[in-house]
Amino acid sequence: MQSEKSKKAGKAPSTTLLIDFLRTSYDGSSEILLLEEDMNFNSRAASLSDVRQGDGYLLVSTDIAARGIDLPETTHIYNFDLPKTAVDYLHRAGRTGRMPFSDKKYTVTNIIVSEERFVLQRFENELMFNCEELTLEVPC
């Protein structure tokens, strides 16, 4: 998978690769919306409005959604790149199903390469949580 190679080379995979991965994974069952820093205000506002009004959207976002955007009905967060600090991780993961707004279960998935495992372990220790680890072998 090309995005895996990009991550190992130290380059962040493009949003396009992530969207292609999600489209393949979700078999087209959800509309995918973008939220990035370099989008103009109207485009960002439209994406957020669609997410808040509708059901079945996947929101792909950079760290712009980690703070200051309230999406309490969000049930899944996918970290394609780990935040730089444990506090940033907490804020990014905190976008999901917060009480008392929701009693749904929520999931935070971290897509990492083995070299990034120590960073996630540091976050686990600092924030006192445990991740379930699933290993995927990706052919080169």
For the stretch 63-87, pLDDT in tens is: 776 667 777 777 777 777 788 899 8
Distance CA 9, CA 12 (A): 9
- Confidence check: pLDDT of 18 > 70: yes
Q: What is the mean pLDDT of residues 34-62?
A: 79
Minimum mean pLDDT range among 11-25, 45-59, 72-86, 122-136: 11-25
Domains, in order of start, for the chain: 2-127 (3.40.50.300)
Of the candidates 56, 81, 46, 52, the residue with the CA atom closest to the CA atom of residue 66: 81
How far, in Å, CA of 28 to CA of 110, rounded? Answer: 22
Could you tell me the CA-to-CA distances from 121 to 22, 37, 61, 87 in Å, in that order?
26, 28, 23, 14
Report the predicted TM-score, pTM, of the whole model to 2 decimal places.
0.68
